[in-house]
């Protein structure tokens, strides 16, 4: 089976903002912490792992309040587990 790949720009399926982000455009760098590259994931996981228990509890309370009265299957309490990245 032959494999073909196409530049994302040619697919006409993505916004200019997303394409600029994925290409690492300098004008967007102040809007995000890590670039969308494989070597950035380890740093991003570390940043997310440093999310304190107090922040987790606050996040869960706020999300539960926001979604009170709305039908959702999301288990916000899973965010209380330190192994769950927020």
Give the domain extent around 79.
51-86
Do 45 and 76 share a structural domain? Answer: no
pTM of model > 0.75: no
Integer CA distances (angstroms), 48 to 12, 20, 52, 77, in order:
33, 24, 9, 17
Phi-psi region of 24 (alpha: psi -120 to 50; beta: other; left: phi over 0): left
**Which residues does 13 contact at the CB level (< 8 Å), separation at least 6?**
none
Q: For 47-84, how does the pLDDT look when each residue is reduced to its tens digit (9 = 90+)?
A: 877 888 999 999 999 999 999 988 888 899 999 998 88
Q: For 14-37, how does the pLDDT look when each residue is reduced to its tens digit (9 = 90+)?
A: 999 999 999 989 999 899 888 888
Do 73 and 60 share a structural domain? Answer: yes
Closest CA to 28 of 39, 36, 20: 20
Do 43 and 1 share a structural domain? Answer: yes
């Amino acid at each position: 089976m032959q494999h073909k790949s196409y530049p994302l720009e040619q697919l006409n399926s993505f916004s200019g903002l997303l394409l600029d982000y994925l290409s690492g455009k300098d004008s967007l760098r102040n809007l995000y912490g890590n670039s969308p590259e494989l070597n950035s994931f380890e740093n991003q996981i570390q940043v997310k792992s440093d999310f304190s228990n107090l922040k987790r509890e606050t996040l869960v309370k706020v999300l539960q309040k926001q979604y009170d009265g709305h039908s959702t299957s999301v288990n916000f309490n899973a965010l209380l587990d330190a192994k769950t990245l927020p």
